[in-house]
């Protein structure tokens, strides 16, 4: 309810609906129509849903996509975001911790070496783990990953399973 009140205040919906600008209404309708209208949601519920999908801890840029069907598909995927199971959250945390631990180890063990660490790319390891696992589920037998130096050692060890001893011996 607090979130609803905040959104209503931001959109000046506590005033008469006639006071809300046409541009605001038009933008809201373009973001939420027709999905919310099919579910019988009112304007405030549609705004809350849109805010939850686009203004939380994750967002995406889709304005540059020119093909309408591709843009619509991506928007639908973002807006129907599902919650993560306890098991999946645990797996994601494990991937992040493994990645961070390896970064710390390499920084201490090889302080003078260029490591091209994961700073700013920490979610890459669990993201790639999920992608590779899903590819396997769908029958993919081989995956080739081409990447720049940034995070490569971490991906080699935590995603592709290269032994840490081999990585350290090559440095």
Task: Give me the pLDDT at residue 23, please.
Answer: 64
Residue 137 binned pLDDT confidence (cut-offs 50, 70, 90)? very high
> Which residues 6+ apart lie within 8 Å of 117 measured at CB?
103, 106, 107, 150, 151, 154
Name the CA radius of gyration of the chain, rounded: 22
Pick from 13-22, 75-84, 103-112: least confident: 13-22
CA 99, distance to chain mean position in Å, is 17
> Mean per-residue pLDDT for 104-108?
84
- Tell me the domain boundaries of the chain: 2-79, 86-169
pLDDT digits (tens, 9 = 90+) for 55-75: 767 767 888 888 988 988 888
DSSP string, 62-84: -TT---HHHHHHHHHHHHTPPPP
> Mean per-residue pLDDT for 78-89?
77
Label residue 106 exposed, middle or buried (CB < 10 Å: 0-12, 13-18, 19+). buried
User: DSSP letter at 56?
Assistant: S
Copy the structure tokens of residue 96.
């992040």
């Amino acid at each position: 309810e607090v979130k609803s009140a905040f959104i209503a205040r931001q959109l000046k919906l506590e005033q008469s609906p006639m006071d809300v600008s046409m541009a605001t209404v038009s933008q809201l309708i373009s973001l939420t129509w027709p999905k919310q209208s099919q579910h019988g949601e009112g304007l405030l519920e549609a705004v809350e849903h849109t805010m939850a999908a686009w203004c939380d801890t994750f967002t995406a840029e889709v304005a540059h996509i020119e093909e309408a069907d591709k843009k619509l598909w991506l928007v639908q995927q973002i807006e129907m975001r599902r919650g993560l199971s306890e098991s999946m959250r645990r797996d994601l945390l494990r991937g992040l911790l493994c990645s961070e631990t390896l970064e710390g180890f390499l920084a201490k063990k090889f302080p003078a070496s260029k490591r091209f660490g994961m700073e700013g790319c920490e979610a890459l390891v669990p993201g790639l783990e999920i992608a590779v696992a899903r590819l396997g589920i769908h029958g993919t037998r081989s995956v080739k990953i081409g990447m720049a130096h940034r995070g490569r050692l971490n991906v080699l060890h935590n995603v592709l399973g290269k032994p840490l001893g081999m990585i350290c011996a090559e440095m």
